[in-house]
């Protein structure tokens, strides 16, 4: 809709949608952020923003330095190299680069000076707790779901010791090693006091369930979660499929928790890029269909990494009410694909999905990830409400607010409560 040609009613609707969607607080259902109690794991500030693995991958499009030389540099030096390659020698127009600038600008910093030392000096003056609160406010985020792995040697000890939880943070139990690398996971569980063997006999399965129950209670998990390679198959004889069938799904039923499935990631397609080296592949979503069809008492959350899987995912969600789809994940978290994906989901599913999660790893990223996505979601909603208005159906401000709350966490909460 061109503003010049808009009628007063259209302008009024646009202003209402902008205001209401802009003010709706978000429940961010998947991030890699941590409760402040995880002091050593917290990432924030300009050097963490610049060394985000999305930007590392982009900087190696230009950087000719051997990978191993880059990785031994201190974080500040890596940040300087990335700044030089992606912001000074080239215009920072990729989504991840633009995100850094959106964030800095929202924090009140002048980006046009291109002055990295000055930016660093500003961040050095911030108090972490106050800064985090400001980021939440600027992003409009009310609640953050972490990704918590008992297999992570840095976070496990803290959970085991216990700490006072911050009310803004909820937890999700991430179980990738259990399901995609069982031969290595089995001895670890055994070391932690669970009587597991590599063979999936009945005793081992019940011990895996005990492990899942202990960790679900310990972290108060909202859901269990796994990312899967494109070729993953269920049902199947592989350890992962067996463990899902015999341990994860019964556990989720017992605790009434959704199981979040994230298919499509090819880990370490370029191991030299370390964490930035993962790729994407087309998944066979028959696996998800089988999960939903064979386990109607289970609830599934799903997001896919391949754009080409999005349409089939939407259709699956139309078929299975025990499936809730969410987010534009990782390589899909760019405005053109968020727009396309959100539009398609609204057209096929109405409001019964969660359009976005941030996947933020650095606290400040909440600002740009949500500002950019909120913009796209607002535009899509406005277009759809305008189409309704053309039929004579007008939405009230209360209805717009209800719909926005649904998209920004309400639909997810409702699905979890079922
Ligand atoms: O988006 C990311 O930061 C990726 O590295 C992954 O962590 C992905 O989101 C995942 O949860 O596996
Ligand atoms: Zn993630």
Whose tokens are 């399901």? That residue is: 179
- 201 pLDDT exceeds 60? yes
Structural domain includes residue 3: no
The pairing of strands 265-266 and 279-280 is antiparallel
Asked if residue 187 and residue 329 are part of one domain, the reply reads: yes
Instruction: Summarize the confidence of residues 44-63 as an average pLDDT.
Output: 98
8 Å CB contact between 377 and 21: yes
Q: Which atom of ligand 1 is nearest to the CA of 54?
A: 3
359 Cβ closer than 6 Å to some ligand 1 atom: yes
Instruction: Please indicate, yes or no, if residue 13 is contained in any of the structural domains.
Output: yes
**30 and 105 assigned to the same domain:** no
Do 410 and 389 share a domain, yes or no?
A: yes
Structural domain contains residue 138:
no
Contacts of 93 (CB under 8 A, 6+ apart): none
With 80 as the cut, is the pLDDT of residue 4 above it?
no
pLDDT over 60 (residue 378) = yes
Say what the alpha-carbon torsion angle 4, 9, 14, 19 is, to the nearest 10 degrees.
130
- Ligand 1 site, residue 365, Cβ cutoff 6 A: no
Same-domain pairing of 275 and 171? yes
Residues 130-184 have pLDDT tens digits of: 999 999 999 999 999 999 999 999 999 999 999 999 999 999 999 999 999 999 9
In a domain, 130, yes or no: no
- Tell me the mean pLDDT in the region 238-266: 98
Ligand 1: distance of its center to the CA of 263 in Å?
12
320 lines ligand 1 (CB under 6 A): no
Task: For residues 121-125, give the mean pLDDT.
Answer: 98
Ligand closest to Cα of 365 equals 1
Q: What's the pLDDT score for residue 5?
A: 86
Residues 53 and 22 in one domain: no
Q: Is 195 in the same domain as 316? A: yes
Is the confidence at residue 1, as pLDDT, over 90? Answer: no
**Which whole number is the average pLDDT over 330-342?**
98
Compute, in angstroms, the gap from residue 180 CA to the centroid of ligand 1.
16
**What end-to-end distance do the CA atoms of the chain give, in Å?**
39
Determine, yes or no, domain membership for 75. Answer: yes
CB-based burial label for 212 (10 Å; 0-12, 13-18, 19+) = buried
Q: What angle do helix axes 8-23 and 365-389 make, rounded to 10 degrees?
A: 150
Q: Is 379 in the pocket of ligand 1 (CB under 6 A)?
A: no
Residues 73 and 197 in one domain: no
Ligand 1 site, residue 176, Cβ cutoff 6 A: no
Domain that holds residue 26: 8-42+145-417
Using the mean position of ligand 2's atoms as its centre, give its distance from the Cα of residue 238 in Å: 24
Last residue of a domain, which of 68, 92, 125? 125
Q: Name beta bridge partners: 225.
A: 174, 260
pLDDT mean across residues, the chain: 97
Residue 149 falls within a domain, yes or no? Answer: yes
Q: What are phi and psi of 302, to 5 degrees?
A: -150, 145
How many distinct structural domains can be found in the chain? 2
- Encoding tokens for residue 404? 């926005």
Does a structural domain hold residue 136? no
Closest Cα to atom 3 of ligand 1: 359
Separation CA 31–CA 371 (nearest Å) = 16
Q: Does residue 305 fall inside a structural domain?
A: yes
- Angle 409-170-56 from CA coordinates, rounded to 5°: 85
Q: Report the candidate in 325, 418, 366 with the shortest Cα–Cα distance to residue 34.
A: 366
Is the pLDDT at 3 greater than 60? The verdict is no
In terms of domains, do 264 and 304 share one? yes
212: domain CATH number? 3.20.20.140
Q: Calculate the alpha carbon distances from 36 to 30, 40, 324 in Å.
A: 17, 9, 29
309 touches 331 (CB < 8 A): no
Is residue 371 lining ligand 1, measured as CB closer than 6 Å?
no
Which residues have their alpha-adjacent CB atom under 5 A from ion ligand 2? 359
As a whole-number percent, the residues of the chain with pLDDT over 70 amount to: 99
CA-closest residue to ligand 1 atom 12: 227
Q: What is the Cα–Cα distance from 19 to 13, expressed in whole angstroms?
A: 10
User: Pick from 376, 375, 324: which is nearest to 353 by CA?
Assistant: 324
CA distances, 61 to each of 58, 98, 273 (Å): 5, 17, 11
What is the CA(385)–ligand 2 centre distance, in A? 32
Question: Which ligand minimizes its atom distance to the CA of 29?
Answer: 2
Residue nearest to atom 8 of ligand 1 (CA): 330
Q: Once rounded to an integer, what is the mean pLDDT over residues 337-353?
A: 98
Alpha carbon nearest to ligand 1 atom 10, residue: 227
Q: Is 52 in the pocket of ligand 1 (CB under 6 A)?
A: no
Q: Is 330 in the pocket of ligand 1 (CB under 6 A)?
A: yes
The answer, yes or no, to whether any atom of ligand 1 lies below 6 A from the CB of 361, is yes
| pTM confidence score | 0.98
Rounded to 5 degrees, φ, ψ at 417 are: -70, -25
Domain termination residue (choose one: 97, 125, 153): 125
Whole-number pLDDT of residue 413: 98
* pLDDT tens-place string over residues 275-327: 999 999 999 999 999 999 999 999 999 999 999 999 999 999 999 999 999 99
From the list 295, 359, 296, 293, the residue with the least C-alpha distance to 326 is 359
Shared domain check, 395 and 282: yes
Based on the domain organization, do 38 and 51 belong to the same domain? Answer: no
Closest CA to 400 of 371, 370, 380: 380
Say if residue 189 is in the same domain as residue 309: yes
Whether residue 252 is found in the same domain as residue 278 = yes
Of the chain, the percentage scoring pLDDT greater than 90 comes to: 99
Distance from residue 147's CA to the centre of ligand 1 (Å): 10
CA-closest residue to ligand 1 atom 2:
330
pLDDT class of 28 with cuts at 50, 70, 90: very high
CATH number at residue 107: 1.10.2020.10
Phi, psi of 364 (to 5 degrees): -60, -25
């Amino acid at each position: 809709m061109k503003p010049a040609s808009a009628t007063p009613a259209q302008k009024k609707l646009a202003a209402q949608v902008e205001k209401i969607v802009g003010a709706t607080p978000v429940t961010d259902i998947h991030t890699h952020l941590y409760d402040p109690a995880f002091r050593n794991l917290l990432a924030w500030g300009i050097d963490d923003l610049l060394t985000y693995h999305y930007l590392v991958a982009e900087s190696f499009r230009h950087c000719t330095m051997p990978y191993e030389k880059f990785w031994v540099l201190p974080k500040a030096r890596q940040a300087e190299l990335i700044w030089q390659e992606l912001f000074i020698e080239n215009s920072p127009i990729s989504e991840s680069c633009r995100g850094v600038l959106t964030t800095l600008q929202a924090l009140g910093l002048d980006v046009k000076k291109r002055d990295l030392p000055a930016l660093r000096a500003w961040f050095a003056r911030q108090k972490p707790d106050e800064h985090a609160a400001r980021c939440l406010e600027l992003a409009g985020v009310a609640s953050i779901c972490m990704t918590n792995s008992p297999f992570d040697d840095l976070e496990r000890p803290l959970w085991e010791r216990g700490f006072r939880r911050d009310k803004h943070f909820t937890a999700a139990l991430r179980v990738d090693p259990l399901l995609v690398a069982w031969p290595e996971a089995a001895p670890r569980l055994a070391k932690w006091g669970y009587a597991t063997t590599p063979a999936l006999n009945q005793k081992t399965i019940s011990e895996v369930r005990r492990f899942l129950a202990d960790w679900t209670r310990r972290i108060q998990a909202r859901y269990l979660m796994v990312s899967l390679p494109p070729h993953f198959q269920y049902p199947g004889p592989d350890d992962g499929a067996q463990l899902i069938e015999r341990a994860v799904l019964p556990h989720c039923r017992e605790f009434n928790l959704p199981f979040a499935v994230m298919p499509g990631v090819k880990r370490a397609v370029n191991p030299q890029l370390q964490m930035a080296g993962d790729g994407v592949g087309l998944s066979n979503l028959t696996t998800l269909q089988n999960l939903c069809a064979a386990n109607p008492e289970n609830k599934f959350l799903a997001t896919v990494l391949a754009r080409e899987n999005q349409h089939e995912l939407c259709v699956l969600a139309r078929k299975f009410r025990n499936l809730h789809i969410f987010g534009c994940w990782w390589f899909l978290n760019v405005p053109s694909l968020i727009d396309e994906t959100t539009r398609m989901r609204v057209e096929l599913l109405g409001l019964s999905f969660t359009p976005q999660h941030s996947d933020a790893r650095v606290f400040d990223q909440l600002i740009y990830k949500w500002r950019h996505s909120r913009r796209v979601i607002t535009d899509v909603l406005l277009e759809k409400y305008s189409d309704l208005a053309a039929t004579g159906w007008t939405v009230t401000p209360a209805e717009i607010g209800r719909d926005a709350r649904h998209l920004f966490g309400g639909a997810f909460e409702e699905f979890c409560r079922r």
